[in-house]
Amino acid sequence: MLRFLAKKLHFLQLLSQNSEDKQESKSRESSQTSLSRDITQNLKVLKDILGPSNDINIREFSFGYEEKVDAAIIFVDGMVEKTTINESIIKPLMYDSHLFTPKESQTITTSIDLIQRSMISVGDVKKVDSFDELVDDCLYGDTVLLIDGSHEALVISTKGWESRGVQEPKTEAVVRGPREGFTETLRTNTTLLRRKIRDPNFIFESMQLGQRTKTSVCLAYIKGIVNPKLVEEVRRRLKRIKTDAILESGYIEEFIEDAPFSPFATVANSEKPDVIAAKLLEGRVAILVDGTPMVLTVPMLFIESFQSAEDYYSRPYYASLIRTLRFIAYTITILAPAVYVALTTYHQESIPTPLLITMAAAREGTPFPAIVEALMMGTIYEILWEAGIRLPRPVGSAISIVGALVIGESAVSAGLIGAPMVIVVALTAITSFVVPAQSDTATMLRFVLTVFASVLGAFGIMIVLLGVLIHLSALRSFGTPYFSPLAPLSPRDLKDVFARVPLWAMFTRPRTIGWHDPQRQEFRLDPHPPPEESEK
Amino acid sequence: MPKRRKILFKLIIFIIFILSIAGCWNRRELDTLAIVFGVGIDKAKKPGNIEITAQVIKPGEMKSPQGGSGGGGEKPYWNLTSSGKTIFSAVREFTHKSNRKLYFPHNEIIIFSEDIAKEGIRKYMDFFIRDPEIRRLVWVLVAKGNASEVLETKAILEKVPARNIAQLIEARAATSQASAVRLQEFLTRLMSKTTAPIASVIEITREKKEKIARLIGTAVFKDDKLVGYLNKSETRGLLWVIGEVKSGIIVVKSPGGNGEVSLEIICASSKIIPEIKDNNIHIRVEITEEGNLGEQTSAEDLTSLPAWTVLERRQSEAIHNEVRRALKKAQELNTDIFAFGEAVHRKYPELWKDIENRWDEYFPNIEVTINVNAKLRRSGMTTKPPKPE
């Protein structure tokens, strides 16, 4: 069975490789690699490459004081700032062309330098001589200026399109802390990060991924803190992605993660610049992808899911308490239905007698065995949850009332489901939101545990838990043990696991990640009274 | 491929092991269980047979429906009886009457009727040790009368008589005038060569035509046969010696001679020290006790030092008397309920080998010294009784 699947996969892989090769050769055939000196020839080639799309604007014009020179600008409508084109490209060329007085000695090549230097009033202008590069830039919102007689073209940065502003992220709301979140625009996102970390060693490395989407991907790290081998590894894994589309950072995550078949994510993501900045400062590498507000960070640790940005903004006692609560909630959310099923079907002797009576009374007359109840309620809850996400706002409340009534009140009063099971499912539902980063694995684990509990009781639960624990300890994320600092145990890093020690006591960065520059701050930073002046 | 197949093979082996080491298990839904709360064992009409009464709760009735047809209704329990030559066969016999399988782990009491206890109960205990469902924490009782009748008594504050009786046993610590014996301890005593088993005694009293269960005194066994009972004060005498007195009230005469004083026992401990004097075994019992002044009916001020000392002396006298009475009764019955034999065994293992089989001859005549060290600590919320100065 497995071998059959593997063969199938291999076949598909070959197929896709084949077609990729074909596409590449085709696109290479149709394009000349470098520009010629003749503008009409260049425009013809360009039109050929860009096709008949109506969003591509080609504006031909001529300029010059004594001698007219033919020129053309090419841009994609909607992706450019038109005012920049009008005011800073066309206007100076047309009105101020008296400045453009090529002397006899100057060739057209040097005159394009002149235009670039003294006429185009835009910050970012570069010279390009190949069609590939020219087209890439043009499709990313830049304006191409072609001048007759030059084998080079000017690419003028005029990027500007409709985009969502910086808003509070919906998924990671905080009570205390910055409310800004990343947007879909890569440049905005890098800005948000740069504003947090004004360090020349903070480096953005950009690359393009996806043969068709040409998505800009940005690798961010802080030189000096990060382990250079880690950056090298991330770069290597990104470079080997040869696919046609990267539409979201999830695409990249799947191509670069360490254990693609593990239910646990080994790449973390966040929408909040402060979270990403903190992770960068611990020695991680961030991967920003154009078109999505979700930024990836590697390596990821299991306990990272239990750490929230607010832990570091509120005072340590409360933060530690909440941290502990999250561990408890996670335990409840994966274990509650399984333990309930195990207790009621195998270990009735370990339920306190009065509780047993209450539970037995609730079970009296219900038609399904406990395991069926558990799976049924679990499934119904997941359906409600999934439906709830996609619901249009105005319908939401109506549906949630129906859902609550159906799975809560009516199922019990109709005698279909025992009341304790409703409580258990409600409890798992609520607790699953406490650790959002692990909620998807928690759901899967919960179902597996419940099934095992129904077959083997508490013994089954132990088997699954041990299996998961072994798996977690064996997982690695970009060379870092996934379960560290618990396994392997590094006692000094326990400062930020179950309890969060005061910030002035966190001298060092996490050992497994930020070992390159381990010291975060000076020692003895805890608030204390000034040293007493020497007595007179 | 062969490597992968090897892993698969290992996985299958593991799963087989995992499934088989789970041992004795069975999936049972809550609504297929008849939860037993109490077991009574009587003589059956047919000679040589026994009759078992199992008190099974009806969970549906246990939870009184809110607003619904409250009051009246059916009893929340069901007393099933069945008979057989052995306990196990009688227990299995229940399946002819009950659609659900009897579930014993939540059973709290085992009641033997007086008749059956007098004949000897060793043969019935085997099932209770062997069966994995029975807890060793079950209370063992002897009913004056029929065990099945005790399980029919009216429980006013509880819904199930068995649970009521189990809680009576736990509540007896307030007086320490009734024994509380768990199955584990009963078995330990039963399996000892010299120590006599004891059990709680439950009897039925009639109040306003209602049958009420009453827990008082101690049943004393010789070997495995019931031979007699200890009354209230004898029971406490026994409990003083074996260190089981938790609390209770000692009533003594007021030092002024006018009225009574109640002293509350706060804590007590004991030591049994065997000694050999002039080739005779001699037992010294050391009892340490602390009490509080709980009530006085006399008008005098008892917190003065002389009165306090007198009270302390009377308290230790009272304890002394109780122990003396228990001892006398035990020696009359020739039952070593105090486990003196075990104490001798521990201290003089060599000597014990000789006298072990003749302990019955030694015990009735054994000399026992009782040293009571009773203290009086506090006088409650006030020092003086309520009277005008």
Sequential DSSP letters for B1-25? -HHHHHHHHHHHHHHHHHHHHT-S-
Residues of B in contact with A3 (CB under 8 A): 1
Instruction: From B230, B250, B279, give the residue that closes a domain.
Output: B230
Grade residue B69 by pLDDT with cuts at 50, 70 and 90: very low
- The pLDDT of residue A513 is above 70: yes
Among candidates B35, B63, B133 on the partner chain, residue whose Cβ is nearest the Cβ of A356: B35
Q: Is B244 found in the same domain as B178?
A: no
| CA within 13 Å, CB half, B14 | 8
Q: In what order do the strands lie in the sheet with A125-128?
A: A56-63, A69-76, A143-147, A153-156, A125-128
Among candidates A349, A363, A463 on the partner chain, residue whose Cβ is nearest the Cβ of B31: A363
Q: Examine residue B16 and state whether it is found in any structural domain, yes or no.
A: no
Structure tokens given for B339: 């486990």
CB-CB under 8 Å, A357 with B63? yes
Please give, rounded to a whole number of angstroms, the shortest distance from the CA of B28 to a CA of chain A.
Answer: 5
Q: Name every residue whose Cβ is closer than 8 Å to that of residue A11 and which is 6 or more positions away in sequence.
A: none
- The pLDDT of residue A2 is above 70: no
The model's pLDDT over B244-273, given as tens digits with 9 standing for 90+, comes to 999 999 999 998 878 899 999 999 999 999
Instruction: From B204, B230, B256, give the residue that closes a domain.
Output: B230
Q: Is B239 found in the same domain as B216?
A: no
Please give, rounded to a whole number of angstroms, the shortest distance from the CA of A471 to a CA of chain B.
Answer: 15
- The pLDDT of residue B22 is above 80: no
> For chain B, what is the mean pLDDT?
89
The model's pLDDT over B78-116, given as tens digits with 9 standing for 90+, comes to 999 999 999 999 998 898 888 888 999 999 999 999 999
Please report the pLDDT score of residue B70 as a whole number. 44
Q: Is B181 found in the same domain as B42?
A: yes
CB-CB under 8 Å, A363 with B1? no
Among candidates A344, A361, A459 on the partner chain, residue whose Cβ is nearest the Cβ of B59: A361
Please give, rounded to a whole number of angstroms, the shortest distance from the CA of B283 to a CA of chain A.
Answer: 43
The model's pLDDT over B194-249, given as tens digits with 9 standing for 90+, comes to 899 999 999 999 888 888 999 989 999 998 999 999 999 999 999 999 999 999 99
More confident residue, A389 or A303: A303
Q: Quote the number of domains for chain B.
A: 2
Please report the pLDDT score of residue A102 as a whole number. 57
Q: Is B342 found in the same domain as B206?
A: no
CB B369 within 8 A of CB B277: no
Search chain B and give the residue with CA nearest A455: B27
Q: Which of A363, A373, A364 is nearest to A337 (CA)?
A: A373
Q: What is the pLDDT averaged over residues B116-127?
A: 91
Between chain A and chain B, how many beta carbons pairs sit less than 8 Å apart?
Answer: 69
Residues of B in contact with A359 (CB under 8 A): 30
Q: Is B223 found in the same domain as B104?
A: yes
Q: Which of B335, B111, B327, B123 is nearest to B228 (CA)?
A: B335
Instruction: From B230, B250, B282, give the residue that closes a domain.
Output: B230
CB-CB under 8 Å, A365 with B31? yes
Q: Examine residue B37 and state whether it is found in any structural domain, yes or no.
A: yes
Q: Examine residue B11 and state whether it is found in any structural domain, yes or no.
A: no
Q: Is B130 found in the same domain as B264?
A: no
Please give, rounded to a whole number of angstroms, the shortest distance from the CA of B243 to a CA of chain A.
Answer: 29
Q: Examine residue B13 and state whether it is found in any structural domain, yes or no.
A: no
Q: Is B38 found in the same domain as B117?
A: yes
Cβ neighbours, 10 Å, residue A443: 19
More confident residue, A3 or A155: A155
More confident residue, A104 or A232: A232
Where are the domains positioned within chain A? 30-156, 186-307, 316-474
Using the 8-state DSSP alphabet, how is residue A173 labeled? -
Range of the domain at B154: 29-62+72-230
CA distance A63 to A84: 18
Pick among A346, A356, A456, A463 to test the B interface (most B CBs inside 10 A)? A356
Structure tokens given for A134: 């020219």
* A83-108: burial string, b at 16+ Cβ within 10 Å, e else: ebbeebbbebbeeebeebebeeeeee
In three-state secondary structure terms, A441 is: helix
Please give, rounded to a whole number of angstroms, the shortest distance from the CA of B31 to a CA of chain A.
Answer: 6
Phi, psi of B180 (to 5 degrees): -130, 115
The model's pLDDT over B304-337, given as tens digits with 9 standing for 90+, comes to 899 999 999 999 999 999 999 999 999 999 999 9
Search chain A and give the residue with CA nearest B135: A349
Q: Examine residue B15 and state whether it is found in any structural domain, yes or no.
A: no
Using the 8-state DSSP alphabet, how is residue B99 labeled? S
Q: Is B220 found in the same domain as B86?
A: yes
Strands B367-376 and B280-296: parallel
Please give, rounded to a whole number of angstroms, the shortest distance from the CA of B200 to a CA of chain A.
Answer: 22
Q: Examine residue B192 and state whether it is found in any structural domain, yes or no.
A: yes
Q: Is B187 found in the same domain as B46?
A: yes
Structure tokens given for B68: 């619904």
- The pLDDT of residue A39 is above 90: no
CB-CB under 8 Å, A364 with B106? no
Residues of B in contact with A356 (CB under 8 A): 30, 35, 106
Among candidates A3, A348, A358 on the partner chain, residue whose Cβ is nearest the Cβ of B63: A358
Q: Is B263 found in the same domain as B220?
A: no
Q: Which of A220, A209, A298 is nearest to A247 (CA)?
A: A209
Tell me the DSSP string of B307-361: HHHHHHHHHHHHHHHHHHHHHHHHHHHT-BTT-HHHHHHHH-HHHHHHHGGGHHH
Residues of B in contact with A457 (CB under 8 A): 22, 25
CB-CB under 8 Å, A348 with B105? yes
> For chain A, what is the mean pLDDT?
86
